[in-house]
Amino acid sequence: MVAVLTVLGLGVIGLALRTVVQHRVDSDAASEINQTLTAFRDLAARGTDPATGDRYTDADVLLDAFLDRALPPSGQGLVAVHRDGSVRSSGDRAVRDQAPALSRRAQDAPRSADADMTRTSLQGRTYAVAAVAAPDATGSGYLVVAHDQATSATTVDDLVRTFVLVSLAVLVLVIALAWSTAGRVLLPLRRLRATAELIGASDLTSRVPESGTDDVASLQRTVNAMLDRLERAFASQRGLLDDVGHELRTPLTVLRGHLEILDAHQPSKVDRTRELLLDEVARMSRLVEDLLLLAQTQRPDFLRRVPVRLDRLVDDVVSKAEVMAPRTWVRAARSTSTVELDDEVVTQALLQLVDNAVRHTADGGRIEIGAAQDHDAVRLWVHDDGPGVAAEDRDVVFQRFGRGRRDREESDDTGHHGLGLSIVAAIAAGHGGHVELDPDAEGARFVLVLPAPERGETRRGPA
């Protein structure tokens, strides 16, 4: 395509150049003829005959004297037509060869100081011709000035030939540069395609080599970022499937083992087995529900933000928590600010933290729930006076199916699978925030930190 456009462009330039040059050459030829005629008129008006020392009065003598003095430019010839019809010529050879014919073609020229320029063709050659009468008493002699157009054509043809050669060289150079440039531009795309061909469901580690700062380099960075997200997503998916398989294997094994040894003729054993199997089914149901909730937190439409007053949110969570276990429930700070968040899922996250606090405190233990606004962030927390989280478990507890050392040592009869805090972390991340575990607090103090503009004020509520 580049070569075609270049050829078309050079062709248009060539035609325009030939037209301009031809016009310039023709104009120069006409100017040279006019200069010759002017010189002839000056000689006739002011020249002196060397033989007499007076002005020229004889046309033949004037014509011969002009031909002896004149030096016609290239392509121009002079033809002097004497009174007796004889012809004398000088200058361009083609004009001299055609002098008789040119004199006859110009014999009808006006016999005055003025002359009209005409074009005539002889034996395939074109001449620009002008004739002017030699001033004497008879008025029968005249001068013919002719310019051979073949000379101009030769000049134009030489220029066009040179232009064609230069154009061919330019065309070759443009094609070479276009090929080289296209290769450099397409090389990153070829690398991108090769990388895409290497990527499979089992290997997402390949990346596109990044180079440059242009749009292609931006595409490379975008693709690599997408591959990073895909690799993390697939790794998370594989980890989730492994964890789910591990967590479901135990209750399924329990179900199968009890069903295999179940004796239908012993009603007491059937009742006990039935209670145990129902408990395992309930445990698996809770696991599936938690997994569904964790998966939903990854959806872009998971959150539905609405204006929420923080003090009312705390009151609602405390009201629901009070029926979960006999504990000493404390409303800490209750901000009157109104912020944009999904009150349902935030309530669910706080209740997950409450459930965690209930499991790690004894009857009558103190559990504090509060909310405060700190400049551009909202802080919602659940604080219990239980044994707290060991330092080595502070990162583990937020992982999917992650449990602290105490939970691992205790029995799994409670049906908790280690998904609660990972759900809380996912809900906080969905709001653009995070979960903190206060390392300096007595017991365990989990804090949801959610971004929000500062509105209203925080006041201390009743304990």
Burial of residue 428 (CB within 10 Å: 0-12, 13-18, 19+) is buried
Q: Is the pTM of this model over 0.85?
A: no
Look at strands 87-91 and 434-437 and give their pairing: unpaired
| Secondary structure (3-state) at 162 | helix
| Secondary structure (3-state) at 92 | coil
pLDDT tens per residue across span 286-337: 777 777 776 777 676 778 888 988 889 999 999 998 888 899 999 887 778 8
Provide the pLDDT for residue 459: 39
d(CA 318, CA 315): 5
Name the residue among 392, 381, 330 with its Cα closest to residue 356. 381
Over range 389-398, report the average pLDDT.
Answer: 76
Give whole-number Cα distances, 463 to 161, 328, 337, 370, 460, in Å.
102, 10, 19, 10, 9
Find the DSSP H helices in 47-124.
Answer: 59-69, 93-97, 99-105
Beta carbons within 8 Å of 110's beta carbon, 6+ residues apart: 116, 131, 133
Paired tokens of 172: 């070759």
Listed range (159-163, 271-275, 280-284, 401-405) with the worst mean pLDDT = 401-405
Band (406; pLDDT cuts 50, 70, 90): low
Q: What are the structural domains of the chain? A: 2-157 (3.30.450), 215-296 (1.10.287.130), 306-460 (3.30.565.10)
Provide the pLDDT for residue 366: 92
- Cα-atom radius of gyration of the chain, to the nearest Å? 53
Distance of CA 158 to the CA centre of its chain: 47
More confident residue, 276 or 362: 362
Q: Is pLDDT of 49 > 60?
A: yes
Q: What is the largest CA-CA distance in the chain?
A: 165
Band (457; pLDDT cuts 50, 70, 90): very low
Residue with tokens 């980890």: 239
pLDDT tens per residue across span 442-454: 888 999 999 875 4
Question: CA torsion 428→434→437→441, rounded to 10°?
Answer: -90
More confident residue, 30 or 7: 30
Residue with tokens 């462009």: 9
Over range 333-356, report the average pLDDT.
Answer: 86
